[in-house]
Structure formats: C-alpha cells, structure tokens
C-alpha cells in the first residue's frame, strides 16, 4: 500500500487499548495484503481515490482534549440536533467538554478507551462480526488504525425515547489529519432505540480523511432507527460504511443523507440472518460543484421471509459526479423474500454525471423483487404550473428540486429530527443566495 | 382589458388557432364553447404562456401591453390566472408553501406589502372554506393524490388567494359532480366584480346555469365562428354544433 498513511499506521498500535491489538494486527494484515483499488476494480470503477493524500497524520490528542479555547468554536456546531445525549469527537479524539453527559440510564454506553473488562469482552466478541475486512478495505484500515470508538449496548426490551447522537467533526487542525470513527451498536432483543451519526467539517477545513465504520447488530425483534448524516464539505474526504446484521423479526430503519465534498464513499451492507427481518433504507445525496458521492449498498437475503425497502434519491448539480450501486442478493434458501429498490436522480446540469446500477442477483424462485433507476430533469409541466402562479423560474426549479428530496424527509418518523433535516437541507443546499450555478 | 386579434398558433407544427379574435372588457364574463379539437384549451394555454404552444401570427394585448412578450410568471404578476384543466401534482412541496410562494411573488411584483404568515394562514383557511376543501389539504403535497374534484377546488383556492384580474377557467367543470360544480360556480360568482373578468372555456352548457355569462362564443376550426348572449349556449345544448359547422362551411 506504499507510503499511504505509513506514519499513522505505525503509530496506531501504541494508542489503542491492549485488548484491541489482536484485532488490529489481523486487520493490518488484511490491509497490507490488499491491492490499492483502481478504475479496474469493479467496486471502484467510477470513484477515483486520487484526491487522497499520503501524508495524513493523527490529530494531537493534547490539542483536541477539549480544554483549550480553540475547540470552543465548535460548541454551536456540535450541538445535538435530535439527541438527548451526545458524544463529540474532533478529528477522531473524544471531546468531553462538548459532549452531553445526560446519558440514558438503562443504556450502557462507553468509549472503547474507557470500557470495563466486561464491556471490552463484549466489544471484542462483536466487533467486525458484521463486516468482511477482505471485501471492505477501508474498514480494515479503520480497524488497523483504531484508537477509540463508541459502544452502545441497548439492553433487552429497552423502550426509552432517548436519542443517542455521535458527532464527528473533521479538519479542525491546520495539518492534514486522518481520523477513524467507529461505532458498535448492540440492540438487545425486543429493544427500541434511535441512534444518530453526524459527520461535520470544521468551518474552514484543511484537508482531512475520515473512515467512519459502524456496525449495527440487531437481536430478535429489536427495532432500531438509525440516521447517518454526512454534512462535510470541501476537502473533507470520507470513506466509510454501515454494516448490519438482523436477527429474527428485527427491524431496521436507516436514513442516510450526504452533502458533498471532494470524495465520499459509503458502503451500506445489511445481512438478513433470520426470518422476519425488515430493512428500510432511505438515502439522499446532493453533490454539486466538483464534488463526488458514491453509495454502494448490498442487501444479503440469506433466509426466507425477510423484506427490504430501499429508496435512494440524488440531485447532481454543476460538474458533480455520483455513484449509486444497489445490490440485492437473494440466496437460494431465501424464499418469500420481498425486496424493492428504487433509485431516482435529477440532473439539473449538462455537466453532471450519475452512474447508477441496480443489481439483483436472485437464486430463489418464490420471491417478489422490484428495482428501478431513473435519471431525469425537472418536470416541465410542473415548472410551468408554478410559473403560471407567479413563481419565478429559478425559484420554481428550486421548489421542485426540494420537493423531490423532501418527499423522503417527509417519511422520517422522528418528528423533531424531520424538521431539523429539512432545515439542514434547505440551508445547505436550497438557499437561493447560494444557488450561483 | 384583453384584446386578442387574429391569433394564429401551433403546437408541434400542427396549426390549431387560425385567426382567433376576442375582446374582453372589465367585469365581463365570456364563455367559449366548441367541439373537441376546436382550440378551446389552446387559447387558455397561450394566454398563460405554455412553452409548447407557438404563436405564429396576431397579437394579444392585456391592459394595452403586449402579453406575448411576457414570461409565464410575469403574466401571473400582471393579473392573469389560468385554472388548469389538469392541475399538476407536485409531491414533496406542501400546498401551503406553494400558495405562500405564489402569493408572495405576485404581491412583490405588484409592489404590495408582503403578508405575514399568520394573516396568510387565516386567508388560506377562508379560501378553503369557500372552496369546501378541508384545511388539511393545505398540508398535503400540491394536488398530490387529490381527486379530480379536489384538484379543481384547489385551483379555486389559488384563484381566490392570488386575486387575479382575468381568470381563464379551462374546462374547470369537466369531470365535476353537481355539488363540486356548484362550489366552483359559487366561488366564481363571489369573485365577480367590476374590475375582474372571466373567460370560461367549457364543453357543457350546464356550467352556464350557475355562472351566467355576458357573452357566449363558439370556437370551431381555430377561430370564433359565432358570438351571442347566453341564449346561444342554450341553442348549442339543444342542437349541437353541426348547424354551425354547416353555416361556416
């Protein structure tokens, strides 16, 4: 893998807790044996890794400890939007000052660095159990260079309305930094909880590279609402993913939003491990300028009677590029599967590009599967209708684009967060003043 | 108010209007009837500035200004309102936001002060009441999943809130049951005034039982072949269009 991240990799093992070291060495081996993806690698065909530098460093822990005035400027940014409880990391280093300490009683929540013996045993047992490090190279890199992480252990039958928010801010330092966020969620049998992950960049970010890897393990009949919101901009590069396992009758609702930056690649993987599981996955991507966003999703239906409902929509503006690869793999035993995948794209600009590929691989014969991908411009009839009511063309275009995205936000069941998402998208993407293109 | 002279227009190279002339004065209600394919809807679309329709000759003046020179939204600002035959569904954009955006921009262009949200909400509720549409419809996507009748009522709400000076109703009565028809007619009648004119494009005389027109015109072959009072509509109802086509031929 050449000189890429040589220094952080060498320094990593000294920083992580001892009990993680075995996992780190095997991940490091996987990373070192892998070949660097190129355009000839199918999974990376439309996403170039060129924007990555090879001189990223770890952030200084001392500077990021949260006591300095410097980090005070992130207080507003690091406010939880939906959560009653938040953990804030700046360039991968936990910031106690900005985190909220109102932790829900019943939920055992800890950082890897402060895990008790019992907790560390559970983390060791479950970490990497939902992801294949051979297939997901950058997840292996994440494990290999891990120095901290968040472990959320939701007890059986928990039914609180606590919303736990993990906030990662990248690029707060002047040197190019690498950070590795790691989240492990164990949703106990019959539990119901909400977890929000947010990735932000500091006001005027210097180059940063983050690998955010999350594993969500849902036990029998657990119900988890999960949000992963990528708000980074500029040269805040992110390559990460969410890897999920669903036990019998488990129900996952996972919502994804990505605003653009130079390079963003996210792999979402769901394993239906036992009958009756359901995964609802919603995603929105909004690159513009010269930004690039790539979502690769894989749903593994290994057993009968599971359902998947996946909807992704994107607006690709200016010279931006986007990739959507939606794979649903229905194994031979997965009879009675119901799976739907829809990907719709709006291309308001002639120079924008989307590479979309729905991929259905079906080996069972009694299943119902539907998939569709569209690429279109704004509906002329709707534009005319708005204009006929006095709305100027530019504003009409914006209203229609917003409506296209808002339809998905409207379906978010968490009331407070739905409004926040709408505001975020409006302010960051649909603000008239910012539409200079 | 509106002066259409010798208007020729086509859509996709097919000539539809062939020399249509029409004058509408302030406060007047004109009904335009005619067989299928005679160009009735085309007239409405051209007045509203639909991009698919190309004017190849003639002129349209509104308050002495050349209407054809204006963009679609500028025509709305000038006071022209087309109630669509097939209102468009816009999922994801709430009806309320849409109405507010429309009213805001029209008021801004007319140099009227903006309305605050509370007052606007009140007006929108009143408009709903006039149109017999439950206020819950304001929260839904624009026309999203509305029935045919509900869409037409929503057009009426927009018309009430935008306070246009010339309302063109493009077959607003088509597909409406009697109750809905009465609601729309009552709405129109309550908006009638010395300064506001209406052009009702319709297939059926029935609408004119509820909205009494000052003039009735028959459109055939792309131009107006006969004009008269409301008795003309009654004759058309009895005898159809055949006698007119014979006369014109």
* A342/B contact by beta carbon, under 8 A: no
- Helix (H) and strand (E) counts in chain B: 9, 12
pLDDT tens for each residue of A273-303: 999 999 999 999 999 999 999 999 999 999 9
The residue that leads in pLDDT, A323 or B35, is A323
Q: Which residues of B touch A379 (CB under 8 A)?
A: 88
pLDDT tens for each residue of A149-178: 999 999 999 998 888 999 999 878 778 888
**Distance in angstroms (rounded) separating the CA atoms of residues A297 and A241:** 9
In percent, the amount of chain A with pLDDT more than 70 equals 94
Smallest CA–CA distance from A409 into chain B, residue? B92
Weakest-pLDDT range from A51-65, A74-88, B139-153, B199-213 = A51-65
Q: What is the DSSP string of A202-213?
A: -SS---EEEEEE
**Distance in angstroms (rounded) separating the CA atoms of residues A267 and A259:** 16
Q: How far off is chain A from B105, nearest CA to CA, in Å?
A: 6
* A384/B contact by beta carbon, under 8 A: yes
At A413 the pLDDT is 87
Inter-chain CB proximity B84 and A388 less than 8 Å: yes
Sheet of B29-33: strand order equals B80-83, B166-170, B197-201, B29-33, B215-220, B223-228
**Distance in angstroms (rounded) separating the CA atoms of residues B134 and B142:** 14
**Complex-level ipTM:** 0.95
* B72/A contact by beta carbon, under 8 A: yes
* B158/A contact by beta carbon, under 8 A: yes
At A1 the pLDDT is 63
pLDDT tens for each residue of A192-225: 999 999 999 886 667 899 999 999 999 999 999 9
> Looking at the partner chain, which of B73, B90, B158 has a beta carbon nearest the beta carbon of A387?
B73
pLDDT tens for each residue of A400-413: 999 999 999 999 98
pLDDT tens for each residue of A372-399: 999 999 999 999 999 999 999 999 999 9
* B115/A contact by beta carbon, under 8 A: no
* A418/B contact by beta carbon, under 8 A: no
Q: Which residues of A touch B89 (CB under 8 A)?
A: 382
Q: How confident is the model at residue A435 (pLDDT cuts 50, 70, 90)?
A: very low
**pTM for the full predicted model:** 0.90
Q: Can you tell me which residue has the tokens 């009552």?
A: B186
In percent, the amount of chain A with pLDDT more than 90 equals 67
A67, A156 contact by CB (below 8 A): no
> Looking at the partner chain, which of B89, B92, B162 has a beta carbon nearest the beta carbon of A389?
B162
Weakest-pLDDT range from A244-248, A352-356, A424-428 = A424-428
pLDDT tens for each residue of B88-126: 999 999 999 999 999 999 999 989 999 999 999 999 999
* A432/B contact by beta carbon, under 8 A: no
Q: How far off is chain A from B204, nearest CA to CA, in Å?
A: 25
- CB hemisphere CA count around A418 (13 angstroms): 10
* A290/B contact by beta carbon, under 8 A: no
**Distance in angstroms (rounded) separating the CA atoms of residues B23 and B39:** 17
* B34/A contact by beta carbon, under 8 A: no
Q: Which two tokens stand for residue A19?
A: 């009990």
Q: Evaluate if residue A67 carries a pLDDT over 50.
A: no
At A102 the pLDDT is 75
> Looking at the partner chain, which of A385, A403, A404 has a beta carbon nearest the beta carbon of B84?
A385
Residue B64: exposure state from Cβ atoms within 10 A (0-12, 13-18, ≥19): exposed
Residues 6+ positions from B126 with CB-CB distance below 8 Å? none
Q: Evaluate if residue B84 carries a pLDDT over 90.
A: yes
At A228 the pLDDT is 97
At A55 the pLDDT is 84
């Amino acid at each position: 893998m050449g000189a890429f991240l040589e220094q952080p990799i060498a320094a990593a093992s000294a920083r992580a807790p001892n009990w993680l070291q075995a996992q780190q060495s095997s991940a490091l081996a996987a990373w070192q044996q892998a070949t660097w993806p190129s355009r000839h690698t199918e999974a990376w065909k439309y996403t170039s890794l060129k924007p990555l530098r090879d001189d990223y460093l770890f952030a200084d822990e001392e500077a990021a400890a949260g006591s300095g005035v410097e980090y005070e400027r992130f207080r507003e940014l690091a406010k939880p939007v939906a959560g009653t409880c938040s953990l804030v990391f700046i360039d991968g280093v936990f910031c106690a000052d900005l985190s909220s300490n109102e932790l829900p009683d019943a939920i055992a929540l800890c950082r890897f660095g402060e895990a008790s013996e019992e907790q560390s045993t559970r983390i060791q047992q479950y970490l990497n159990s939902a992801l294949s490090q051979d297939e997901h190279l950058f997840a292996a890199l994440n494990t290999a260079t891990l120095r901290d992480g968040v472990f959320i252990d939701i007890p059986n039958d928990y039914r609180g309305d606590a919303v736990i928010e993990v906030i990662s801010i990248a690029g707060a330092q002047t040197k190019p930094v690498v950070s590795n966020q790691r989240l492990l969620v164990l949703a106990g049998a019959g539990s119901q909880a909400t977890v929000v992950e947010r990735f932000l960049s500091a006001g005027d970010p210097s180059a940063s590279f983050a690998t955010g890897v999350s594993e969500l393990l849902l036990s029998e009949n657990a119900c988890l609402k999960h949000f992963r919101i990528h708000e980074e901009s500029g040269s805040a590069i992110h390559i990460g993913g969410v890897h999920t396992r669903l036990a019998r009758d488990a129900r996952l609702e996972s919502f994804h939003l990505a605003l653009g930056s130079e390079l963003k690649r996210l792999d979402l993987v769901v394993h239906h491990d036992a009958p009756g599981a359901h995964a609802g996955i919603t995603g929105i991507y909004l690159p513009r300028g010269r930004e690039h966003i790539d979502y690769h999703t894989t749903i593994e239906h290994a057993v009968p009677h599971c359902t998947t409902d996946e909807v992704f929509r994107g607006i690709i503006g200016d010279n931006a590029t986007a990739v959507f690869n939606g794979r649903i793999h229905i194994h031979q035993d997965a009879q009675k599967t119901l799976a739907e995948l829809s990907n719709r794209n709006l291309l308001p600009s002639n120079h924008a590009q989307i590479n979309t590929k729905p991929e259905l691989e079906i080996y069972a014969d009694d299943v119902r599967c539907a998939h569709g991908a569209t690429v279109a411009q704004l509906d002329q009839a709707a534009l005319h209708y708005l204009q006929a009511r006095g709305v100027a063309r530019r504003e009409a275009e914006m209203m229609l684009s917003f409506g296209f995205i808002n339809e998905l936000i409207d379906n978010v069941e968490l009331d407070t967060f739905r409004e926040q998402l709408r505001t975020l998208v409006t302010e960051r993407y649909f603000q008239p003043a910012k539409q200079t293109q | 108010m509106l002066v259409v002279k010798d208007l020729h227009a086509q859509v996709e190279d097919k000539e539809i209007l062939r020399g249509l002339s029409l004058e509408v004065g302030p406060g007047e209600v004109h009904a335009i009837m005619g067989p299928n394919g005679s160009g009735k809807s085309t007239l409405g679309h051209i007045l509203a500035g639909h991009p698919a329709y190309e004017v190849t000759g003639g002129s349209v003046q509104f308050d002495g200004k050349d209407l054809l020179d204006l963009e679609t939204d500028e025509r709305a600002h000038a006071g022209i309102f087309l109630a669509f035959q097939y209102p468009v569904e816009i999922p994801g954009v709430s009806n309320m936001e849409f109405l507010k955006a429309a009213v805001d921009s029209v008021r801004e262009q007319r140099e009227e002060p903006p309305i605050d949200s509370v007052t606007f909400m009140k007006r929108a509720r009143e408009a709903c009441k006039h149109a017999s549409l439950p206020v819950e419809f304001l929260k839904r996507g624009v026309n999203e999943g509305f029935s045919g009748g509900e869409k037409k009522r929503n057009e009426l709400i927009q018309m009430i809130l935008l306070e246009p000076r010339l309302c063109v109703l493009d077959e607003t009565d088509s597909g409406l049951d009697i109750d809905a028809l009465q609601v729309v007619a009552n709405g129109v009648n309550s908006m009638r005034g010395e300064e506001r004119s209406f052009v009702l494009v319709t297939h059926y005389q029935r609408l004119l039982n509820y909205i009494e027109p000052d003039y009735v015109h028959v459109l055939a072959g792309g131009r107006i072949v006969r004009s008269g009072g409301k008795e003309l509509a009654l004759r058309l109802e009895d005898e159809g269009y055949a006698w007119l086509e014979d006369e014109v031929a």
